[in-house]
Amino acid sequence: MLRVSNVRKVFESSRGTYIALDGVSLTISDGEFLCLLGPSGCGKSTLLNILAGFEPVTAGAVTSGDVPITGAGRERVMFFQDAGSALLPWLTVEENVRFGLRVRKIPKADWQPIIDKYLRMTGLDTHRTKFPSELSGGMRQRLQIARALAVEPEVLLMDEPFGALDAMTRRHMHAILLDIWQRTGKTIVFVTHDIAEAISLADRIGVMSFGPRSVITRLIDIDLPRPRDLTNPKVAVLYNEIEALLAPDLARVAAQS
């Protein structure tokens, strides 16, 4: 379980003080798929960085299994939108996964079965000798996922990982990610500003307000069977409800830009 308790995050710079988060509380259960949803500037990535241990809190507390998160931990792995920058371009697909095992000091005798397992799971088994530059955007994201799963984290933290992909590839990646999530039982916290993407993926959606002083304004349970048909009338009702929640903040974003 991940628990965020009344978290406040303040950034200080030469331009002054910016209060990014102010009183955010959230509990994420083991094996849950949670999406954090909101417009750019609502603190989604800041909250994800705090969960990863990359950013300290100014006030409040964040715990993993009742243990305070005070830095990066091997039980949590972060994913970014640009998979290319996260991969090592001079290593092949298989070597990228092997590198993660070496860094985590997993016994060498265990490497090959683990590599084979996760390359098969992500559909990259026949591409193991290719370099990242020879892969499509979706395949690079699958490689990022395979490398992360190989070190057996408990939590996957994903910061708009499919934002740079075309619509068709994104839908394909949704199906792959959901299949991996259901097969592994990992906890996933997924940041997005796309309402349809959040509805397609999440058990729950945490809607965040536009900053400064961002908070989670609403937690919405998505009680719909998977795979989810976005033409389902129930999805349309849910989409409109979330869009109405976001409308005032989207208007503020438009006014500022």
Per-residue pLDDT tens over the stretch 98-148: 998 988 888 899 999 999 999 999 999 999 999 999 999 889 989 999 998
Q: pTM for this structure?
A: 0.92
Q: Residue range 10-17: average pLDDT?
A: 89
Span 172-181, average pLDDT = 92
Say if CB 15 and CB 33 are below 8 A apart: no
Of 162, 189, 163, 184, give the one whose Cα is nearest residue 173: 162
Contact 3/32 with Cβ under 8 angstroms? no
pLDDT at 256 over 80: no
pLDDT above 80 (res 58): yes
Task: Please state the domain extents for the chain.
Answer: 1-75+193-257
Q: What pLDDT is stored for residue 241 in this prediction?
A: 94
Unique residue bearing structure tokens 């619509």: 167
Q: Which CATH superfamily is domain 1-75+193-257 in?
A: P-loop containing nucleotide triphosphate hydrolases (3.40.50.300)
Comparison of pLDDT for 41 and 108, the residue scoring more: 108
Show the CA angle centred on residue 196, arms to residues 190 and 202, nearest 5°. 40
Q: Is residue 11 predicted with pLDDT exceeding 90?
A: yes
Q: How far is CA 212 from CA 35, 157, 180, 209, in A?
A: 20, 23, 35, 9
Interior angle at CA 37, CA 44 and CA 167, nearest 5:
110
Quick one: average pLDDT of 21-34?
Answer: 96
For residues 30-46, average pLDDT: 92
Q: What are phi and psi of 63, to 5 degrees?
A: -130, 155
Q: What is the pLDDT of residue 252?
A: 79
